[in-house]
Amino acid sequence: MRRSIGATVAVLALLGACGVSEDGSPKEIAKADLPAGLLDENPSTSTTLPESPATTTVSVYLLEEGVEGVRLVAADREVTDADEPNERLTTLFLGPSEAEMNAGITSAIPTDTVLLDVTTDEDAKEVTVDISDDIFTIEGEALAQAFGQIVWTATEPGAGGYSKVRIFVEGEPTTVLDGEVANKEGPVDRSDYTNLSPH
């Protein structure tokens, strides 16, 4: 009988050390008895996620065939920097969306063509667009249309006020085709593609 009482005392002592009362109900632990590492003097209840950069809807220029032939058509895109042509051109080179393609909107820019670099000259109001030589997998009217898309997108009002575009291919200046499929040296502007201008 003495051994049984001793075992009971030992169990009660163990329960007391663990912070469990004899009646089995939970008890609040005093703040002073908590380890310092568990205390947060300024607990946060916010679940707000970091804000995404604000975007602006801008226009890039794709192609649409109508009764008067193929013309440029404005398509909406979202960019974070609407004041420069760089992002606009990046989205242009991604081509039309599935919905746009279903609506008959296309792009003459070959899908493998890579936008390598975009630089701007504010004094000359000129944009230099450097692209990969995959652009030359097309020719004639299709090539002229592709250049027209690039020029109209880069000179869209609100994209920095640039009016002229110089095309480079693989880092070298290149002769471009205007809307009439005539060779043009140096920078070109929207007036060189008036026959492709949107309605």
pLDDT of residue 13: 43
In DSSP terms, which residues pair with 115 in a beta bridge?
131
What does the mean pLDDT of the chain come to? 85
Res. 34: pLDDT tops 70: no
Mean pLDDT of 166-186: 97
pLDDT range class, residue 29, cuts 50, 70, 90: low
pLDDT of residue 199: 82
pLDDT in tens, 184-198: 999 999 999 999 999
Element (H, E) at 13: helix 2-17
pLDDT in tens, 35-50: 655 555 655 555 555 5
CA distances from 72 to 90, 189, 199 (A): 18, 14, 8
In DSSP terms, which residues pair with 126 in a beta bridge?
121, 164
